[in-house]
Amino acid sequence: MSEQAAAPPTILVVEDDPTINQALADRLTAEGFAVVRAHDGPGAVAAFGAAAVDLAVLDLMLPGFDGLEVCRRIQATRPVPVLMLTARDEETDVLVGLGVGADDYVTKPFRMREVVARVRALLRRVARAEQLALAGDGRLAVGDLLLDPAGRRVTVAGSEVHLTPLEFDLLHMLAARPGTVRSREDLMREVWGWADARGTRTLDSHVRTLRAKIGAARVRTVHGVGYALEG
């Protein structure tokens, strides 16, 4: 008797425009994902609670309450990767969105293949993180910052710091080689699974939120190159 095939990842699509909502659901389904849908903030939170969601594709502007509040509520329940959809490209929108636990963003109008590529990259990142945890990867100490990959916990001067899954992965990559400058391209490729010119804004936004949590001086910027973690 053959083993039962693993269930496909479940994607929560939250978009109030019915045409875009349907198009996203159709494309993701065609790509082999299971899809649950919602059209407003309350519906998104309810759908998340009712299904074993692996990733959310979440519009910023929604009826009921916006995508930022949806992101806060679902991340407080169970952290999952979140891909934000926004019609605005202002840095403040991106920073606020990433600050509540969004992992990446796509600006409208977008190409469906770009959304699919970002979804796959985020899911690959989660799979890599789970493999590290199962392998019991060793703890890292950089000054008074301690990082436990197996437990996915970080403490600074003895106090635990809450990081989103992607912030943790970014810090882990920097902590693996403290004092060494990691290029933007390497960070985007290894943490997000992709790299392009627009991706540097996503990286910079995450570095800002990471600095706010662990201390600004710990992450050194080398202009034109990348970042390094200092003790």
Q: The domain that contains 35 carries what CATH number?
A: 3.40.50.2300
The pLDDT score that the predictor gives to residue 104 is 85
* Mean residue pLDDT across the chain: 87
Last residue of a domain, one of 128, 146, 173: 128
pLDDT of residue 4: 54
Specify the pTM.
Answer: 0.74
Residues 96 and 141 in one domain: no
Both 100 and 166 in one domain: the answer is no
Q: Which two tokens stand for residue 172?
A: 């882990």
187 shares its domain with 146: yes
Residues 87, 150, single domain; the answer is no
Determine the structural domain holding residue 123 and report its residue range.
Answer: 10-128
**Quick one: pLDDT at residue 5?**
62
- How confident is residue 54, by pLDDT bands cut at 50, 70 and 90? very high
Is the pLDDT at 220 greater than 70, yes or no? Answer: yes
State residue 134's pLDDT score: 56
Left, alpha or beta for 53 (phi > 0: left; psi -120 to 50: alpha)? beta
The whole-number pLDDT of residue 1 equals: 41
Q: Is residue 140 part of a domain?
A: yes
Q: Give mean pLDDT, residues 63-85.
A: 90
Looking at the structure, tell me whether residues 71 and 146 fall in a common domain: no
Which has the minimum average pLDDT: 85-99, 171-185, 205-219?
85-99
Q: Is residue 68 part of a domain?
A: yes
What are the pLDDT digits (tens) for 122-168?
Answer: 888 777 766 665 555 578 899 999 998 877 889 999 999 988 878 88
Is residue 156 domain-resident?
Answer: yes
pLDDT at 37 over 80: yes
Would residue 1 count as lying in a domain?
A: no
